[in-house]
Amino acid sequence: MPKFKYITSIVYDSCESDLPLVYIDYRPYAILKFSEHEEAENVKFQLNISGRMIDFGLSDKHYCPVALFHPSERESVMESFHNHFLDFFGTSVNYQWRTYNYKIPIPRLQNLSVCIRMDIPQEFEDMKNVDNFFSSCPVLKSIDLYFWAFESLSPESESIVYQVESIKINQFDRTVPAVLRNFQGRQAFMMCFLCEPLELIEFVNRWKSGEAFQNLEYLKIIPLHQEIPRDFFMTAIGARHIDGTRKPPTHTVPRVYVEYAHRSNTDPITSHSYVVRKSDNRVASVSIEDRTLSFGVWDKTEEEFLRMAD
pLDDT value for 253: 96
Cα 71 to its chain centre, rounded Å, is 31
40 — pLDDT class (breaks 50, 70, 90)? low
Per-residue pLDDT tens over the stretch 122-155: 888 888 888 888 888 888 999 999 998 878 888 8
304 three-class SS: helix
174 — pLDDT class (breaks 50, 70, 90)? confident
Residue 177 predicted with pLDDT over 90: no
187: nearest Cα among 102, 263, 97: 263
Own/partner pairs, 93-96, CB within 8 angstroms, 24+ separation: 93/7, 93/8, 93/9, 93/10, 94/8, 94/9, 94/10, 95/9, 95/10, 95/12, 96/9, 96/10, 96/11, 96/12, 96/141
Q: What is the dihedral of CA 156, 159, 164, 169, to 10 degrees?
A: 100
Higher-confidence position of 260 and 81: 81
Report if pTM > 0.75: yes
200: nearest Cα among 284, 282, 272, 294: 294
The DSSP 8-state label assigned to residue 65 in this structure reads E
Surface-to-core class of residue 141, CB atoms within 10 Å of its CB (0-12 exposed, 13-18 middle, 19+ buried): buried
22 — pLDDT class (breaks 50, 70, 90)? very high
Averaged pLDDT for residues 21-42: 83
